[in-house]
Structure 1
Amino acid sequence: MRIPRKLRLSFILICVSAAIMMAVFFATIMMIRASIESNNLSRTIEAQAMSLETAILRQNSQFRGFLVTGDETYLKSYYEGRDEFDKVVVELKGQLGDAEKQALLEKSRLATLAWRADWGDRIIAEVRAGKREQAQQDVRDAGKKVLVSDAVLPLRDLREAEAAVTEKNLERQQAAIVTAIIALIVGGIALITIAMVLSAMLSRMIARPITVLTEAMGQLAKGDNDIVVDASHADELGDMARAVLVFRDTALAKAEAERSKAAADLAKDAAEREKIVADAAQRHVVEELDTALEALAAGDLTHTIRTPFAPEYERLRTAFNVAVQGLEESLASVAGSAQSVRLGATQICSASETLSLRTEQQASSLQQTTTATNHVTDMVGDTARSAAHARNAITLANGDAADGRVIVEEAIVAMDAIKAGSQEIGEIINMIDAIALQTNLLALNAGVEAARAGDAGRGFAVVAGEVRELAKRTVDAAKDIKQLISKSSDEVRLGVDRVGETSEMLARVVSKIGDANTLIVDIAQGAQIQSENLKQVNSAVGSMDRMTQQNAAMAEEATAAARILATEADELATLVSRFRLNTTTSAAPAPRRDTASAPGPAPKVIRTFGALALSSEAADDDWSEF
């Protein structure tokens, strides 16, 4: 039997055992899944049945609350419970598959509809029609007929039936779990046993012969051609053994061929050594030129070829060294010229920037002076106008102060009247407090009587509780109002005292206003004269400011030109700095001096002179004029 067939049969046996175990395990899992789904459905039905029962009881309680109080807010909850009942009944009917359970649901639905028609909707309509007392009497006379037990009890039976189904499903689920555990244990033991038996058989039939063949092949690889191999097996191991014997015979033939080849190789090596000597000389020239050209490509002009070449290649080395030396001298000259241009441009730029900064500082100072003068002029003008307005305002204030004394006296009389009214309100609040206390006692007695009446008096108990709560809130409100009135009386008394003091103060204010009026007239006249003088000063400073700004624009143009020249010199020096030279002149761009930091910090300048610098008048100016 061939090895693949042996392995195939072994794996088929293991797979069949595993398939049997998985089938049993899958069946138990499906059983558990069915039980879980059934439990979920039963719990959903129980929850919906509980929702129906709650909706029925909600309709009953809100119906009784509306019957007792006549409050429309109870109807909102009543109708919500009715709608919820109708909605859940439709949903639950589609989920029930048992005819007996559907009959229980239908019985509850019909009983609920009958209760609505006979009591709920009918009594609500009578109360809305103004017949609440008659409706209350009908409910008392009906006794147990008005109860919703016929609608609630079928729902409870339905919930008990679903609870029993859930219990049975749990028992089936537990049994399925036990079956799965047993199948897993038994199947695992069987698989382990089969695997161990097959492992021992395959080791004896395959692994041991392979080990013998491996040792024989190792000896053959080491050059030991005197090996003995058993080639009697009829499977792949026999084929491998016969192949090893072929390798042994081939190795013997190869050893004989190598001995013949060794003699021919000795003659060939002598000719190759002569060729290697010639190739070495040419390779040395190529390597030296390659190194020199790489250095030249990297910008290193100091590199030359110092090692002598063979006589036939020596002219090539001399020509390369002369060319590199000439290029190095030319670039060194260019670097020196770029350095000189850069230094000159830097000095011009530094001087121009210093001049520009000083001019900007002067322009800024003049502009600040102009701004300050304008501000002072405006302030003086505003002072004159404000003095005139103040004079008029003081005249009006004098009249208002006189009228204020009359109003203050009238306020004192009004506050006395408010104080008397507060005392009368306090007496009324005491009366309300007493009435609320009596109402609370009556509501308490009504609640006791309603409790004695049992279910028939439950609605009256709700009303009594509401009345007690209303009486309690009335007492609290009366206490708060009483405290507020007491506080208001104290505030009114304090206000009367303050108003008297205000009347005396107004008399003194009228006297001082007259004196202030005379002083303000003098201030207004002096401010008008100062305003005219400051306008003349402001005009002169403005002329100086415009001239200084034109000068600053010229200085900035010169600075910009110097910066451009320095930038171009730096770019040239940067290009030259890529090359390594033998001269001492540095081709690297020198760091630019921060000329803007030489003078002191200049104040911020409002650059209003850009248009002036570009105008035809500024274009005609020259440095001598500056």
Structure 2
Amino acid sequence: MNLKSLSAKLLFFAGGTVATIVVAAVAFSAIETKSRVEASVNDEARAEARNVAASVSAEIGLAVAAGRSMIAMIGAGHEAGNRDGAAVIAELKAVATSNDGVFGAWMAEAPKGFDGTAAKDRPGANGAGVFTPYWTKSPDGKLEFSTFDAKYDAPWYALAATSGKAAITEPYMASEVKVLMSSTAFPVRSGGRLIGVGGVDFSLDGLTKMLNGLTPFEGGRAYLVSGGGNWLVAGDGGQLTKPYDETGTDALKAALASGEPAVISAIEDGAYERIVYPFTLPGLDTRWAVLLDVPSAAFTTPVYAEVSKFLIVGGILLLAVLGAMMLATRQVITRPLARLSAAVERLAGGNYDSPVAGTDRKDELGAFAGALEGFRHQLKSGVAAELAADNERSKAERLREEGESERRRTGETQARVVASLGEGLARLAAGDLVTPLEGEFDGPYRKLKADYDAALDRLRSTMQSVSQSVASIETGTQEIGAATQDMTHRLEGQAASIEQSVAALGEITGQVGENADFAAAAAGTVRSAREDAERADLIVRQVIEAMRNIAGSSEKIEAIISVINEISFQTNLLALNAGVEAARAGEAGKGFAVVAREVRELSQRSSAAAEEIKTLIADSASNVEKGVSYVDNAAEALRRIAAKVLDIDGKVERIALGSKSQATGIGEVNVAVGQMDQMTQQNAAMIEETNAATQELTIQADALKRLVGYFTIAIRTSGTSAPVTRRAA
């Protein structure tokens, strides 16, 4: 191809215009894609960090819930009057046994706060007489019991005791079991009074395994730091419990203080971007932070892919335009001119036999070919005469002038066509899809204009359809985003309510179970009282019988009072029997024992005071009758008490059975609510993923909207043919 030819210049101009458009589009796409990818990756990284924080909170929440339930039961039992240290020790042991993640359960009473004493021999008391029971697990999983010194100024006691809230210690490495542990402490209250502090020691080994197993973004890392800025999960095991001293220390401290996420750049010479996500531990006024390292490739790879795609599409478009232009110029300009040039060269070489091609064309080139064909005939026929020659020369000169004029007109027309086509392509490069080619195109150029205008109309129609589709997509994604956001808020509120319900049901279950135990104990006490009342009634009947026997003996003594010696003998015998019966009667027979002693003395002086004995015996008989009456009344009262005790026994047993049934039912409800809590959290996670996908679709639709907005399209209103131009929405 001749680089100085008209077709080559036209191709270079059109190719440069299209290449400029492609380069500008690729640059704009690269900038927009970089911003979008950074925002998307940061949002996804924060969502991943939020999920990790939720898992950590759930793991710690189990230990916190176990400790809180344990302390609630101890406080409720104490408030109900239970001062049995052995029961508290048993409760601590049950918590340590039933929770795999709990490595210890303990309590330290306030000074004389549990039972008001400092006895060293009571269960769970240390050498100073302070109630400090402590159950721990040995490396092989066996439970061991011990006591410890109550340090009231230590953080594990002072923080919970002074604030009245749950507290957590800074994690530490336990030398006995070689795992990372932490302790939660809770104030133990009874009747509004602090009686001590209790808590549990739990392992963080499960959190370490969980975070070490995460590889977000195909090569990322997840770490954990405490509220004090110390490593809890780190890449190097030797950093555990040591302060965070890497890049971004100030940013980490600020995030822990404010509770807002932060980003630390240039980790390991730019290999990672570190997302700092602080979160509050459930039930504790303490913040920890999840550190999520995102590989730099997660930010750059999508940008490179997007730019490569635009370069490929732009290259294909450039080649297509150049090919179409090359084909058009070759068919319309290059080939006809080449045939005319070959005809002229033949005539110049003296070849007058070959006809000139293209005389059948109706355009300027056809006129030029016709003139050249006439000139060939003239040259072939020769000069017949000088006049004819002059005429022919004149005619040839005229034809030459006309041909020259025609060539000039043809050149001007071609220049006008090329200029108009160049302006149209420039407008097309600027995004104008409304303005057609200006001016009238004659001859073969008319089809070129028609083809250009048809392509412009088709491209404008396509852009209008794309613009309408983008608007529909944008509206739909906004509605979906709003709906998913609203659903997320409702699910979060529902999850919080269910979690509170689970905690409340747990406490109610413990209290109902304890009430059932108390009711069973009360039933045993009532049965014992009923048995004691029945035995007392038997003793009273025996006392009545004895008193009646005494009254009969007194009558016999009075009948034979004249025989003093026999009276003395009989009186001694009766007095001895009366003493035995009085001893059997116990407290109720003490008064009668005194009378028996007096009778024995009277029997010894019977010979000297017979009349006095007779009088005393009469008085004794009267008193015995009164005693019988009193004992009858007491027996009747005891029988009424026994009947009421029996009635109370039946009611207490029914209360105990009802409490056990309530405890079983509430336990089943607690399990069901816990399952509802898990399902709600899973639904919330799925809604968050849907929301993230909707936001990504909105961003893509907005990017497509901006790209389409580059073009100017036409809207034809009804009743008029005039185009109304606007930018594509």
**TM-score, length-normalised on structure 2?**
0.19
**Structure number, greater radius of gyration:** 1
Q: Which has the higher contact order (CA 8 A, sep 6+)?
A: 1
**TM-score, length-normalised on structure 1?**
0.22
Structure with the larger strand share: 2
